[in-house]
Structure 1
Amino acid sequence: MSDTTRNSGRIFPSRNGTAISRAQADGQPGAPAPAAGSGTPAPAASSKPPATETIARRAGAMVNEIDFPGFVSQLVHGTFDAIVDASIRQMESYSGLVSAVAKTVDQFTEENVTFNQARDWLVSRYPGDVVLQLPDAAGTEPRLSPRAEELSPVWLADYGLEGQELSTELLEQQILPQVRNKVGAERQQLLATMVLLGLNRVAVRDGSISAKVMFRAAARDAAAVQYATSSDPQAVATWGERGSLSQTSQSTTMVSTLAVNAQNESTVRADLFGEVKLNFVSETLPLDRLADAAKIALVQQHSPAMRPAAPPPALPPAAPPAAEGRP
């Protein structure tokens, strides 16, 4: 008795016990069976190469893309330029102070003190007598005015105006220029004292620069194969007929299931690290190492600390002791 062919499924038995496809069983073209005894396997479908084979190529491409020598060069040059720029700025600032202090009081005042600053100083110094009037829509600049009429404060004697009546014209034309020169002289004296102390320079004592690059590459290939076989009784029309079959005439269909699950994963990562450590120290350079003797003499003239102290007033001679009378 020949084996029966199950037409309702996708796997069909043959007489030699092997499974054939439905196209082969129906004799349809386009599905040729392998020749018996040829030993040539069917060509495998093209698949993605394993990650373990491509990880080296991806890591090499990333190494070429990252300019590590350029990164180190920028780190070193940037640190050096920052240190040099800081030193130059310190020297330029101190040189500007020396040049400003070496000028005359009138030149320093003209360049560094404005009339509005002198007005603010005068109002803050004598708030009970002087008020500042802000400009209106038609005005061009603020003006000083007395708080009361027919006022003659005692501090006018400091400006050689003792006994005069305080007015807007007196404040703006005679007192304001003197106040401006006074403010300029005070600022110049303060700067001169600071310059004579020397340049307090911030310098780099030592330090370190480190740079590194870290590449991380990981690859993972995983494959899982599941193979299952089962036997199915002879395919019949109904379940009742299947149960009535005799054991001697029953044929079995062997069904094999093959499932393949292949996964590959690769990761390439690059980290750049740069670190700069600098230890600063403070050192003082004396003025004589930065300026000539002429400028040093001008600076000393404007500094109250270098002016010779005024001699103390001479005391009147002591009166001789009175002679004691004889009894």
Structure 2
Amino acid sequence: MPNRPPAPPPLIGYSEHLPARALADPAPAAAEPAQNAKPPATETLAARTGALVNEIDFPGFVSQLVNGTFDAVVDAAIRQMESYASLVSAVAKTVDQFTEENITPNQARDWLAQRYPGEVGIALPTAEQPSPQLAPRAEGLSPAWLADYGLAGEELSTELLEQRVLPKVRLAVGAERQQLLAAMVTLGMNRIAVRDGSITAKVMFRATAQDTAKVGYAAGSDPAQQSSGWGQRGSTTYSGGNTMVSTLAVNAQNETNLRADLFGEVKLNFVSETLPLDKLADAAKAALVQRNLPGMQSLNAPALPPAAPQAPAAPAAP
């Protein structure tokens, strides 16, 4: 028998090589990108702006601005009144009390050494003597200023300076300072008050959204067909098919810009006014203050040398 050419192998359909799941349900693969897609910026702009407004808390900002300004003004007024009341209380005390609370022995020593540097010096503390002491510059001195303290003719010594001169000097320095404060108190309190003012608060929101989408479409011949046709495994007598390839490019962008600006401004105009002593203290306290004025100081407090001429005593108030 003549030899026959072998029969060509049977053509196998393309669907036999695909998985059954892919043929049955191709929809989920196309649905996944739709689930992960972000919503447009123009749709989420209102929600993001509302969240920003809640985060800013503009009413709380205004409340803190007003309360802080009010508290600062009230605190300043309270401190002024407390300082003046403390000053009046110190001046209304006796000379002995004022000196004991405000003049230290070391301050009186410094004052005496600076007033008479040629006769009086200060001995620094040592292991035997832990506190400084007044000491004469030389032995056998009897300066004339001792007469101002009732010690005329006595010889200057450490015991005389520490035990008899120092207490009188300390009392005289305290009386001088109390007189100065009493003169200041009788002038009244120079109070700083708010005449008028304004508080401004505002918030500005800026929100912009932009969505941009670009789609590119291209179609052309399959480059794989030009090298070898799809019917290569079959008969070569059939003409090859013409396959076209389409390309789709999508570029989607969304952009959202949010901005919030808070502004707070406080303007206060101050005015100075004087409150007299009789409006801040009662008659008894005012009488105690006037008792310590220069020229009306008690005679128990010695005057500092050189003694200033005293003014005549004012007539007692009815």
TM-score normalised by length of structure 2: 0.77
Is the contact made by 1:193 and 1:305 (CA closer than 8 Å) also made in structure 2? no
Matches within 5 A, 1:47-58: 47-58=37-48
User: Percent of aligned pairs with the same residue?
Assistant: 71
Q: Is this contact kept in 1: 2:194–2:269, CA < 8 A?
A: yes
Give the structure 1 partner of residue 84 of structure 2: 94
Q: Which residue of 2 aligns with 1:112?
A: 102
Conserved? CA contact 1:55–1:266, under 8 Å: yes
Q: 2-side partners of 1:305 and 1:284: how far apart?
A: 25
Which moved further from structure 2: 71-80 or 105-114? Answer: 71-80
**2:172 partner amino acid:** K
Deviations 1:27-65 (A, max 9, x none): 422544999xxxxx9545320111111111111122223
Alignment-derived partner of residue 309 in structure 1: 311
Aligned position for 2:34: 45
Asked if 2 retains the 8 angstrom alpha-carbon contact of 1:192 and 1:300, the reply is yes
Q: How far apart in 2 are the matches of 1:64 and 1:231?
A: 58
TM superposition shift of 1:220 = 2.1
Structure 1 residues 73 and 34: CA distance shift in structure 2, 3 A: closer
Cα separation, 2, equivalents of 1:60 and 1:141:
73
Q: Judge conservation of contact 1:201–1:283 (CA < 8 Å) in 2.
A: yes
Q: Residue 66 of structure 1: CA displacement?
A: 3.1
2:40, 2:211 within 8 Å by CA — same for their partners in 1?
yes
Question: 1:261 offset after TM fit, Å?
Answer: 1.4
**Distance change >3 Å, CA 231–CA 83, structure 1 → 2:** same
Q: Which amino acid aligns with 1:213?
A: V
Match among 103, 122, 125 for residue 135 of structure 1: 125
Measured at CA, do residues 306 and 166 of structure 1 come closer, stay the same or move farther in structure 2, by a change above 3 Å? closer
Amino acid at match of 1:267: N
Q: What does 1:21-170 correspond to in 2, within 5 Å?
A: 27-29=17-19, 31-32=22-23, 43=31, 45-46=34-35, 47-170=37-160
Cα offsets for 1:243-277 (capped at 9, x unmatched):
xxxxxx67644232211111222233333322211
Q: Specify whether residues 231 and 108 from structure 1 end up closer, same or farther in structure 2 by C-alpha distance, changes over 3 A only.
A: same
Residue matched to 2:227: 236
Question: Is 2:289 the counterpart of 1:299?
Answer: yes
Equivalent in 273, 278, 283 of residue 288 of structure 1: 278
Structure 1 residue 205 displacement after superposition: 0.2
Aligned to 2:34, the other structure's residue is in SS state: coil
CA RMSD, aligned part only?
A: 3.0
SS in 1 for 2:130: coil
Alignment gaps of 5+ in structure 2: 1-13, 229-238, 298-309, 314-318
Give deviations 1:290-311, integer Å, cap 9, x for gaps.
Answer: 1222322332232227798359
**Residues matched between the structures, number:** 275
- Partners of 2:110 and 2:245 lie apart in 1 by 105
Asked if residue 268 in structure 1 is aligned to residue 270 in structure 2, the reply is: no
Contact 1:131 1:144 in 2 (8 A): yes
Which sits farther off after the overlay, 266-275 or 86-95?
Answer: 266-275
Report the counterpart of residue 278 of structure 1 in structure 2: 268
AA aligned to 1:235 is: Q
Greater displacement, 70-79 / 106-115: 70-79
Rounded Cα–Cα distance in structure 1 between residues aligned with 2:246 and 2:24: 18
**By how many angstroms is 1:116 displaced?**
1.2
2:295·2:312 contact (CA, 8 Å) conserved in 1?
no
Q: Which amino acid aligns with 1:225?
A: V
- Gaps spanning 5+ residues in structure 1: where? 1-23, 36-40, 238-248, 312-327
Q: Alignment partner of 1:261: what SS?
A: strand
Letter in 2 for 1:45: A
Deviations 1:275-324 (A, max 9, x none): 2111111000111111222322332232227798359xxxxxxxxxxxxx
